[in-house]
Amino acid sequence: MNENIFEVKGLVKEFQGGVKALNNVDAEVRKGEVLFIVGPSGSGKSTFLRCLNLLETPTSGHIFFKGTDVTDKKNNINKFRQQVGMVFQHFNLFPNLTIHKNITLAPVKTGRLTAKEASDKADMLLKRIGLFDKRDSYPSQLSGGQKQRIAIIRALAMNPDVLLFDEPTSALDPEMVGEVLSLMKELAREGMTMAVVTHEIGFAAEVADRIFFMDHGQIVISGTPDEVIRNPDNPRAKEFFSKVL
Amino acid sequence: MKRFSCFIFLLSALLLCSCGKSDKPKLTMVTEATFPPYEFRTGDKVDGIDPAIIRHIADTLGYELKIQDMSFDSVITAVQSGKADVAASGITVTEDRKKQINFTVPYVTAQQVVIVKDNSPIHTTEDLKKYTIGVQHGTTGDLFVTKNIKEPQRFANGALAVTALVSGKLDAVVIDGEPAQVYLSQQTGLRLLPRPLTSEEYAFAISKKNVKLLEDFNRVLNEMKANGLLDSIIRKYKEQNTETAADLLVEDSKYFWIGVKEAFELNFIKDKRYLYLWRGFLVTLYISFFAVLMGLVIGFVVALIRSTAIQTGRYKIPDFFCRMYLTVIRGTPVVVQLLIIYFVIFGSWDIDKVLVAVIAFGINSGAYVAEIFRAGIMSIDKGQMEAGRSLGLSYFQTMREIVIPQAFKNVLPALGNEFIVLLKETSVSGYIALQDLTKGGDIIRSQTYDAFFPLIAVALIYLAVVIFLSSLMGKLEKRLKENE
Ligand SMILES: Nc1ncnc2c1ncn2[C@@H]1O[C@H](COP(=O)(O)OP(=O)(O)OP(=O)(O)O)[C@@H](O)[C@H]1O
Ligand SMILES: [Mg+2]
């Protein structure tokens, strides 16, 4: 069996105007691992993550999801995305829907779950994160930390094979970062496959199975937190971590 | 659904007049019924010398007669374009008009005369040059004055011109002799210049393509001349007109001295004139309502195509047509669009005018609604679409469930505004002779020669509807705000 959720081969993303955000990236996301992607601003971390679920269309290269080439034009992109959850920096909850509806909308509309199943699942997830009483509230009535935790369970409700996080705590007030990180830790412990872009290097060092350090559109080094953060044998990584730690 | 069928019912009630069933072929006559005694309205019907003559001809030839009231400017176009068979509106025979249509043998010889105030310094036609002259737009008087004297002030009908003369806005009115007599008998303080400006002949206009009908008309007209029927019809209406005019005169002088109450009665109560406003109001509401619906549908589809094209690069070709539609509709006046749709696009179809108006205003409004919707859709944060797509929803699912509901809420005030604009824009429906609210006021004005009350009443009704609509939109916005 293929143990990789994602396999990325020769991925290039060039934006209009000639910015090469990704320059020939090869990588894989292994089943069950917690992968962190770190690096300086503008190094291509978000672009890499967004290419994984094709929110950005790669200029060239291939992305295999569980062995299937999803960059192939014939691949059903919606079906593929149902299996890949994403959590955004700015939450992107749907302000026109209640919290409960935010969570059940996609599972029901995509036919992954029946209305009843989705509703039960949403209630279960809400109870789990202690926000069941917000079930019928609207997103504008929630704090930032609450919003991000809802966004996470909204993605979870689809039963995805992998969760992608793009700086999930960057838009939060410091006192709310903790609640989101501890939920992510919990998911990691349960064996959820996760790929996380973050500037929280300490958190990455603590939770990561593996870390990518990106610079100038390339993965410069990858390995365990020890190999990448504590004793990097790469001058650019060394410089970066000495500044942020 | 119930309300919808209610509107349908209203429409059918409104159009009842055109629903009479008969196997006889139809003969459609067009006229502007503001030219007594040749044509004028009594209640719902158009009556007068022209309708009476044409009715006799139609009966003799075995046609079922249908009379349409429209602006004088348009009657010849209507015959030319095949919208109508005959124009009978006190039309003077001129060389220019002969190029466009055929005239029957003349049935009346008429004069263009000059009305001035009693105390006016104008005594001969030579004096006219220095003064402000009023005419009815598109009449022989208009043509003659423009060509031989000076640029006149053009009014939609003779009654308005006379009203303007009475209130001191004009120094003289050039008008046909017959109606001039009527106005003189109704209004004190006016006199005629001793010599008429021109002498001319009235005839009916028939399309050049319809030579057979022209021959038939001429035959019957000549019969009517020979057996005296023509004279007796003309005499009957002239006498009748002087009588009712005398009637009005009493009312008028009372109105002048006693004021508001009588004026109110004259303009709205007498002869059930309020019905013109009420029916016009229903027509205005009907046109606006369905035009809004149509505009919403068109605008929605166009906005969806446009914003999809802009945001994803798909639908390039439909987008091109949408952009053309927007450019043309927003770049031309709605009146012109209405006239084009009526006379050009549906030129040779016998299509209901209310439907034409709904289509014209719907297409027009669609362009503005499209741009409102598009701005609304594009104002929604890109993250909303991305979140939807990342959950595996399709582009259109995300649009329907997430983006459009938010966009709709954002553009509600702008949409409400567009509906209000549309409601008021329908006031140009009179151009294709629809009796909407504005036209209803015009008809009253042409019968009572009073500008103040009918106009104020019309304005107040529009205002009331707009205030009602605004408060409705306000409530809707508030309801939607609560859901956040
Ligand atoms: N839509 C876009 N159009 C053009 N250029 C873009 C676009 N998105 C990103 N870029 C450019 O691509 C490069 C990589 O951007 P990316 O957002 O992936 O960086 P990042 O590592 O996530 O940075 P940060 O830590 O600031 O979020 C940058 O130079 C950025 O300016
Ligand atoms: Mg980023």
Residues A176-190 have pLDDT tens digits of 999 999 999 999 999
Q: Do the strands B172-176 and B108-117 form a parallel or antiparallel pair, or are they unpaired?
A: antiparallel
**Predicted pLDDT at B254:** 44
Are B297 and B241 part of one and the same domain?
Answer: no
Contact B449, B251 (CB under 8 A): no
Q: Indicate if B193 and B341 belong to the same structural domain.
A: no
Strand order in the sheet with A210-215: A84-87, A162-166, A194-197, A34-38, A210-215, A218-223
Q: Judge if B115 and B77 occupy the same domain.
A: no
Helical ranges in A44-200 per DSSP H: 45-52, 77-81, 99-109, 115-128, 144-156, 174-189
Rounded CA separation B361/B355 (Å) = 10
Measured at the CA of B309, the angle between CA B305 and CA B312, to 5 degrees, comes to: 125
Are the C-beta atoms of A168 and A200 separated by less than 8 Å? Answer: no
Among candidates A95, A110, A112 on the partner chain, residue whose Cβ is nearest the Cβ of B406: A95
Closest residue CA from atom 30 of ligand 1: A42
Q: Report the alpha-carbon distance of residue A225 to residue A236 in Å, rounded.
A: 16
Distance in angstroms (rounded) separating the CA atoms of residues B228 and A34: 108
Task: Please give the full DSSP string across B304-373, using - where no structure is assigned.
Answer: HHHHHHHHH---HHHHHHHHHHHHHHHHS-HHHHHHIIIIIITTTS---HHHHHHHHHHHHHHHHHHHHH
∠ CA(A210), CA(A212), CA(A216), 5° rounding?
180
- Indicate if B173 and B302 belong to the same structural domain: no
Q: A15 in ligand 1 pocket by Cβ < 6 Å?
A: yes
| Residue B166, domain member (yes or no) | yes
> Residue A30: what residue type?
R
Domain boundary pick from B201, B225, B260? B201
* Interface TM-score (ipTM) > 0.85: yes
Pair (B187, B237) in one structural domain: no
Nearest in space to B166 (alpha carbons), one of B384, B357, B449, B471: B449
Tell me the pLDDT tens digit for each residue of B23-50: 789 999 999 888 878 888 887 788 899 9
- Which amino acid is residue A78, in one-letter code? N
Rounded Cα gap, residues A42 and B59, in angstroms? 88
- In the reported structure, the alpha carbon of residue A216 is separated from the centroid of ligand 2 by a whole-number distance in angstroms of 13
A150 touches chain B (CB under 8 A): no
Q: Of the candidates B383, B393, B406, which has its C-beta nearest A92's C-beta?
A: B383
- Average pLDDT of the segment spanning A72-78: 91
* Tokens linked to B229: 């029927």
What Å distances lie between residue A77 and A14, A65, B183, B310, CA to CA? 21, 11, 79, 21
Question: How many domains are contained in chain B?
Answer: 3
Atom number of ligand 1 nearest to Cα A50? 18
pLDDT of the residue at B314: 87
Name the residue with the closest Cα to ligand 1, atom 7.
A15
Rounded to an integer, what is the distance from CA B477 to the centroid of its chain?
35
- Same domain, yes or no: B193 and B209: no
B148 assigned to some structural domain = yes
Which CATH number do you get for residue B289?
1.10.3720.10
Residue B263 lies in a domain: no
Asked whether residue B112 falls in the same domain as residue B238, the answer is: no
Both B55 and B195 in one domain: the answer is: no
Cis-peptide, bond into residue B37, ω within 30° of zero: yes
Is the CB of A40 inside a 6 Å radius of any atom of ligand 1? Answer: no
- Nearest-CA residue for atom 4 of ligand 1: A15
In the block, residue with structure tokens 């308005």: B160
Task: Please work out, in degrees rounded to the nearest 5, the angle formed at the alpha carbon of residue A101 by the alpha carbons of A99 and A104.
Answer: 115
For B405, other C-beta atoms within 10 Å of its C-beta total 18
Note whether A11 and A51 are within 8 A (CB).
yes
Q: A49 CB less than 6 Å from ligand 1?
A: no
pTM: 0.72
Residue that terminates a domain, selected from B201, B235, B258? B201
Q: A102 CB under 6 A from ligand 1? A: no
Q: Check pLDDT > 60 for residue A113.
A: yes
Assess whether B183 and B232 both reside in one domain. Answer: no
Over residues A140-151, the pLDDT tens digits come to 999 999 999 999
Structure tokens, B27? 């003969």
Is residue B259 included in any domain, yes or no? no
Judge if B98 and B226 occupy the same domain: yes
Q: What would the DSSP string read from start to end of B237-254?
A: HHHHHHHHHHHHHHHHHH
Alpha carbon of B176 to ligand 2 centroid (Å): 82
Residue B405 domain-assigned (yes or no): yes
Ligand 1 touching residue A10 (CB < 6 A):
no
Report whether B136 contacts B156 (CB < 8 A): yes
Shared-domain flag, residues B75 and B134 = no
B359 in a domain, yes or no? yes
Closest of A64, A33, A28, A14 to residue A219, by C-alpha = A28
Q: Are residues B223 and B183 in the same domain?
A: no
Is B258 among the domain residues? no
Query: Which of the residues in chain B have pLDDT under 70?
Result: 1-22, 138, 241-259, 449, 483-484
Q: Does residue B27 sit in helix, strand or coil?
A: strand
pLDDT score recorded for residue A215: 94
Transcribe A68-90 into DSSP letters.
EETTSTTS-HHHHHTTEEEE-TT
- Residue B251 covered by a domain: no
Inter-chain CB proximity B392 and A106 less than 8 Å: yes
Q: Give the span between the Cα atoms of B354 and B69, in whole angstroms.
A: 14
Print the domain residue range for B169. Answer: 108-201
**CATH value at residue B223:** 3.40.190.10
